């Protein structure tokens, strides 16, 4: 049969259930955009930058069961999107990248956009494939989705030569058979070993990452059987319901409040599920795990990498936790522990309220107002910096995939486009953007995309006039804030330029009127931008813990040098 390759791509996307692609068309892939336009179930979304398109696809994937799709031109389209692809790679988020290639039928050299895209993409993707025959197009794209979804998930790139897209090709009838799922069978003796270690422990604790989401219900049962407190990674926030009396904190080690550290220090056995003990999750590795650690993850490559492991199990969380709950007998009493946890949270909240700002917006008041007026399943998209750690500490989430942010690649500019992607994928849910004013400068113009297509998150710009977290890290050891103070700009003018309604919150008292009014508009698909004069003077537990952890790692001479330098600068003005 004769068919343009662009038609095969569009058919593969439709058969995968794709609803949106994100990108900017160019001369090489206009036929593909035309073919998608003729596919009734798939919509091509025009973005203002390719990196934002990658973040939108990421937001789709993190907040739903869909896989985000990036559709870019050769050369600059690919290189512009690389930061977003790398974020998905390091945070293990499925993403399919349609990386159009140059023409390969002319034999001409020095073509427009001609670079080795596969070589560039390979280090930040699970797979980077080039179509070598038109008949491969349909099956390769379907296979790319399967690879992207298969745990550990991640981005997959497919390069399709431009001539295959624009010219009529001789192809066979498109078909595809899924590859057999990888063998995930684990040794059942390991479950018995884990049950013995947990049963012998005086006090077990559970550490949960996003990889545990498949076993969420089993996890809750196990925590209750063991009477174990539960801490999560940032990506795992909401996997264990945070209204549960055994939920302890988002974070582990020095980046947590004193009551969390006190409880965790008593634990003599740690069950870690679906996590990697990465740098951000552990606050620069500021963790002192107990002697007995059981590490369970579907990816055998992460087991025992950063923390000495007593028992390592490569397994799916649901299967392993299900088998484990069957072996754990009885249920330990939790009343005293639950009371201690509740008292600890109450003490933290009292401290936040005692630090209420008199001149700006208090973070506790801001996040409390958001949760008071947003739905229980609202999605919060954070950005690199203070906003992520403030949101992680203040929000109380009972569902997974409600907290999305750039964690292990920590790429600024994530929140606005990612929240728009989440709004596309979840049109009936509240979506809130938490963008620092520095990050907003990078991708804030994507609010134009939200306004154009009616995918309208509540865009909150957390305004302090600085790259807040970096300025905070500079203050103690340097007593100087070099290149972290932002030039002034008008959020209102940006909002008006891209078609958004504008609100401003200067003090806590304004939250009760502005937040519900803004939400009412975005629920009617009216784009809204809210400038929030946030008060960052009260440091997060995360930033305090990271500073302390890293400071005490320096040799004593360097610690002394830093202290003397900071003191001299302070004395000199």
- CA 287 from centre of chain: 22
Q: By three-state DSSP, how is residue 221 classified?
A: helix
- Note the pLDDT of residue 74: 95
- Note the pLDDT of residue 259: 98
Taking the C-alpha atoms of residue 147 and residue 156, their distance in angstroms, rounded to an integer, is 7
- Note the pLDDT of residue 573: 62
- Note the pLDDT of residue 111: 77
Mind listing the pLDDT tens digit of every residue in the chain (573 residues)?
Answer: 778 889 999 999 999 999 999 999 999 999 999 999 999 999 999 999 999 999 999 999 999 999 999 999 999 999 999 999 999 999 999 999 999 987 777 777 777 778 899 999 999 999 999 999 999 999 999 999 999 999 999 999 999 999 998 888 777 778 888 888 777 777 889 999 999 999 999 999 999 999 999 999 999 999 999 999 999 999 999 999 999 999 999 999 999 999 999 999 999 999 999 999 999 999 999 999 999 999 999 999 999 999 999 999 999 999 999 999 999 988 899 999 999 999 999 999 999 999 999 999 999 999 999 999 999 999 999 999 888 999 999 999 999 999 999 999 999 999 999 999 999 999 999 999 999 999 999 999 999 999 999 999 999 999 987 776 776 666 666 666 777 777 899 999 999 999 999 999 999 999 999 999 999 999 999 999 999 999 998 889 998 898 889 777 888 788 788 777 877 777 776
- Note the pLDDT of residue 206: 98
**Domain boundaries, given as residue ranges, for the chain:** 2-170, 188-340, 357-543
| CATH number of the domain located at residue range(s) 188-340 in this protein | 3.40.50.1220
Say if 2-170 and 357-543 have the same CATH topology: yes
CATH number 3.40.50.970 is the correct assignment for the domain at 357-543: yes
- Note the pLDDT of residue 300: 94
Q: What's the fold here for domain 2-170? A: Rossmann fold (3.40.50)
540: left (phi over 0), alpha (psi -120 to 50) or beta: beta
Residues 6+ apart with CB under 8 A from 28: 73, 74, 100, 101, 102, 103, 113, 162, 165
- Note the pLDDT of residue 474: 66
Contact 153, 19 (CB under 8 A): no
- Note the pLDDT of residue 477: 67
Residues 6+ apart with CB under 8 A from 361: 505, 506, 507, 508, 511, 532, 533, 534, 535
């Amino acid at each position: 049969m004769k068919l343009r390759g662009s038609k095969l791509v569009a058919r593969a996307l439709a058969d995968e259930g794709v609803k949106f692609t994100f990108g900017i068309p160019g001369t090489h892939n206009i036929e593909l955009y035309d073919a998608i336009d003729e596919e009734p179930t798939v919509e091509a979304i025009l973005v203002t930058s390719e990196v934002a398109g990658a973040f939108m696809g990421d937001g789709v994937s993190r907040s739903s069961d869909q896989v985000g799709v990036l559709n870019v031109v050769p050369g600059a389209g690919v290189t512009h999107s690389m930061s977003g692809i790398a974020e998905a790679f390091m945070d293990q988020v499925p993403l399919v990248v349609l990386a159009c290639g140059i023409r390969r039928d002319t034999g001409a050299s020095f073509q427009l956009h001609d670079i080795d895209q596969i070589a560039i993409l390979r280090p930040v993707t699970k797979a980077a494939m080039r179509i070598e025959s038109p008949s491969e197009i349909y099956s390769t794209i379907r296979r790319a989705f399967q690879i992207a979804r298969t745990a550990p998930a991640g981005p997959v790139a497919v390069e399709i030569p431009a001539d295959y897209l624009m010219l009529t090709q001789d192809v066979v009838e498109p078909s595809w058979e899924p590859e057999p799922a990888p063998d995930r069978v684990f040794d059942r003796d390991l479950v018995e070993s884990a049950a013995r270690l947990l049963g012998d422990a005086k006090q077990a604790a559970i550490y949960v990452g996003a990889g545990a989401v498949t076993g969420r219900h089993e996890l809750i049962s196990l925590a209750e059987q063991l009477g174990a407190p539960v801490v999560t990674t940032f990506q795992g926030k909401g996997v264990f319901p945070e209204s549960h009396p055994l939920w302890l904190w988002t974070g582990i080690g020095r980046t947590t409040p004193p009551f969390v550290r006190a409880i965790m220090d008593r634990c003599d056995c740690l069950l870690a599920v679906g996590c990697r003990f990465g740098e951000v999750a552990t606050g620069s590795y500021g963790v002192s795990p107990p002697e007995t650690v059981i590490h369970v993850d579907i990816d055998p490559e992460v087991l025992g990498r950063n923390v000495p492991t007593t028992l390592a199990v490569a397994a799916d969380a649901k299967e392993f936790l299900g088998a484990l709950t069957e072996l754990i007998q009885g249920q330990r009493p939790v009343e005293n522990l639950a009371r201690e946890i509740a008292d600890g949270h109450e003490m933290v909240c009292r401290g936040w309220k005692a630090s209420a700002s008199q001149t700006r917006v208090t973070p506790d008041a801001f996040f409390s107002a958001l949760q008071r007026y947003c739905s229980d399943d609202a999605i919060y998209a954070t950005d690199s910096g203070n906003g992520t750690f403030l949101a992680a500490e203040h929000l109380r989430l009972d569902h997974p995939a409600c907290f999305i942010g750039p964690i292990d690649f920590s790429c600024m500019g994530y929140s606005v486009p990612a929240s728009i992607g989440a709004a596309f994928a979840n049109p009936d849910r509240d979506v809130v953007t938490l963008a620092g004013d520095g990050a907003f400068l990078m991708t804030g113009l994507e609010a134009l995309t939200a306004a154009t297509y009616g995918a309208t998150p509540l865009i909150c710009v957390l305004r302090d006039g600085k790259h807040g977290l970096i300025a905070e890290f500079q203050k103690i050891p340097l007593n100087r804030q070099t290149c972290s103070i932002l030039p002034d700009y008008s959020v209102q003018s940006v909002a008006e330029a891209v078609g958004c309604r504008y609100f401003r919150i200067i003090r806590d008292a304004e939250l009760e009127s502005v937040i519900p009014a803004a939400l009412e508009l975005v629920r009617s698909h009216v784009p809204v931008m809210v400038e929030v004069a946030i008060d960052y003077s009260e440091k997060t537990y995360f930033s305090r813990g990271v500073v302390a952890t890293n400071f005490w790692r320096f040799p004593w001479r360097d610690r002394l040098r830093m202290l003397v330098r900071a003191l001299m600068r302070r004395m000199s003005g």
